[in-house]
Structure 1
């Protein structure tokens, strides 16, 4: 599991991004369970995620952050990164971020992809 914490901080909200190879919905569930064993991630406001299966099947979860899973999925499609989950975690800081939250999700995924490539 590759994990980057403290990627973005804006108006009290903090973001992290995690990911790794998984296959299918069972793999997604196992990955999310492992991530949430860390109490910090279990207590996060949102753990949004997406995966593009080897056959092109998309799976995503917004976890209350409407539209965030789709942002991650589109970036996975552009990279043609398959059987690899990316999870963007947000701890809500008390102030609404509006559309900036989508930019922050994109920035987290970009940082993750950069780190993955080495």
Structure 2
């Protein structure tokens, strides 16, 4: 599992990004369960994620952050990642960010993909 914490801070909200290889929906569910074993991730406001499975196609979950899963999915598809999950975690800081939240999701996923490329 690759994790990058404190990717973005804006008006009290904090963002982190995590990801790794997974096999199908069960693998994604296991990845999320493992991530949430860490108390701060379990208590996060949103753990938005997406993946493209070789045996089931694209899957995304906004986890209450409407539209964010689609942003992650589009970036995964562009990067050509298959059987790999990316999770963007947000801890809400009390101020609505409007459209800026999508820019922060993009920033988090870009940071993850850059780190993945360096370590790969």
TM-score if structure 2 supplies the norm length?
A: 0.96
* Structure 2 match to 1:116: 116
**Aligned partners of 2:38, 2:10: CA distance in 1, in Å?**
23
> What does residue 47 of structure 1 align with?
47
Distance change in 2, residues 1:80/1:55 (3 Å):
farther
Residue ranges of structure 2 left out of the alignment (5+ in a row):
none
Q: Secondary structure at the match of 2:44?
A: coil
String of CA shifts for 1:57-90, please: whole Å, max 9, x gaps.
0011000000000000000111111100000000
CA deviation digits over 1:10-37, x for unaligned, max 9?
Answer: 0000000000000111001000000000
Q: How many residues align?
A: 118
Partner of 2:81: 81
Q: Contact 2:24–2:56 (CA<8 Å) still a contact in 1? A: no
Secondary structure of 1:98's match? coil
Give the ranges of 4+ consecutive aligned residues of structure 1 lying more than 6 Å apart after TM superposition: none
In the alignment, which residue of structure 1 is the partner of 2:33?
Answer: 33
Give the C-alpha shift of residue 55 in structure 1: 4.8
Across the aligned residues of Structure 1 and Structure 2, the Cα RMSD in angstroms comes to 0.8
Aligned partner of residue 48 in structure 2, secondary structure: strand
Which residue is 2:15 aligned to?
A: 15
Matches for 1:64-103 after TM superposition, within 5 Å? 64-103=64-103
Structure 1 gap ranges (5+): none
- Secondary structure in 1 matching 2:54: coil
